[in-house]
Amino acid sequence: MKSVVITGSTRGIGYGLADSFLALGCVVTVSGRNLTGVQKAVAQLSSAHQADRILGHPCDVTQFEQVQGLWDKAQDHFGKVDIWVNNAGIGHSQLEFRRESSQEISAVVETNIVGTMYGANVALQGMLEQGFGSLYNMEGLGSDDRKVRGLTLYGSTKSCIRYLTDALAEEVRGTGVLVGSFSPGMVVTELLTGRYQKGSQDWEGAKRIFNILADRVETVTPWLAEKAITNKKNGARFKWMTRSKITGRFLSASFRKRDLFDGLE
């Protein structure tokens, strides 16, 4: 029974990963900044899985002591940490970089980069001490060097995460600890859709693309969890949306209608 810790797991992809790991028989530590959100997530997961396999603990990943506290709590409760997923991250409105406020820049960088670095620092120290474990960082737009106008800030943070992951994989080579990444592609969460005003022209245009390329959380996270459970390769990158899949989606779009937002709007 593997013990999994997921930062930013009270909703979205993080919550979906928690649900998927639990479905595979793991014990899971759920975390988020807000205690109320953590308690709500634990209650929801407990309605579908054994409550004694779920631990909730609040953690602001921009605070190193809280990240260390998350590791300590999970290790004390379950006896070990087999898998740590740095999932916590935030987005921003689609805005040209020169128009971003200093507060927005600081918040996105501190959560997406510093928070991931803190998680990696704590998890790798702990895993090297216990002699095993796997760390996975969450990639996103920018990890593959794509540029999207208005998302320079977010993309820059995810480009950094790609470098960080590759460098850490080199550092742990030969130690018995693994470092890898998740690349979930477009997933219908608040992080993807939150920058649009529902009903606007921009939203309707974006929705057409999302219905071709995106997927719902419950489609992607079971695949990612299964890959993490069975992986034995250091430096592995689990990419849901491959080039061939993208090509296939566009080729079939005219006769394969999808509405990912049915019942969600």
pLDDT of residue 49: 97
Residue 118 bears catalytic tag: no
| Residues ≥6 apart with Cβ < 8 Å to 120 | 86, 135, 137, 164, 168, 179
Domains of the chain by residue range: 3-188+216-242
| Residues ≥6 apart with Cβ < 8 Å to 170 | none
pLDDT digits (tens, 9 = 90+) for 123-143: 999 999 999 999 999 998 888
Spell out a b/e string for 22-50, using b for 16 or more CB atoms within 10 Å of the CB, else e: bebebbbbbbbbeeebbeebbebbeeebe
| Cα 104–chain centre separation | 20
pLDDT of residue 260: 75
| Residues ≥6 apart with Cβ < 8 Å to 260 | 188, 210, 211, 214, 215, 216
pLDDT of residue 47: 97
Given a cut of 80, whether residue 207 has pLDDT beyond it is no
Cβ distance 80 to 54 under 8 Å? no
pLDDT of residue 199: 65
Class in CATH terms, 3-188+216-242: alpha beta
Q: What is the mean pLDDT of residues 172-190?
A: 92
Radius of gyration of the chain (CA): 18
Angle separating helix axes 115-130 and 64-78, nearest 10 degrees: 40
pLDDT of residue 197: 65
CB under 8 A, 24+ apart: contacts of 69-74: 70/5, 70/7, 70/29, 70/31, 70/122, 71/5, 71/122, 71/123, 71/126, 73/29, 74/3, 74/5, 74/29
pLDDT of residue 141: 87
Q: Using 50, 70 and 90 to split pLDDT, how confident is the model at 144? A: confident
Given a cut of 60, whether residue 265 has pLDDT beyond it is no
Cβ distance 222 to 228 under 8 Å? no
Q: Which of 12-21, 34-43, 201-210 is predicted least confidently?
A: 201-210
**Cross-sheet strand order for the sheet of 177-183:** 54-56, 27-30, 3-6, 83-86, 133-138, 177-183, 237-239
Q: What is the mean pLDDT of residues 99-122?
A: 97
Beta strands in 37-145 (DSSP E): 54-56, 83-86, 133-138
pLDDT digits (tens, 9 = 90+) for 145-154: 888 888 899 9
Residues belonging to the chain: 265
pLDDT digits (tens, 9 = 90+) for 21-44: 999 999 999 999 999 999 999 999
Higher pLDDT, 249 or 178: 178
A 10 A CB-CB count for 223 gives 15
Average pLDDT value for the chain: 92
Catalytic residue among 118, 136, 154, 196, which? 154
| Residues ≥6 apart with Cβ < 8 Å to 200 | none
CA distance from start to end of the chain: 38
pTM of the model as a whole:
0.91
pLDDT of residue 264: 59
pLDDT of residue 34: 94
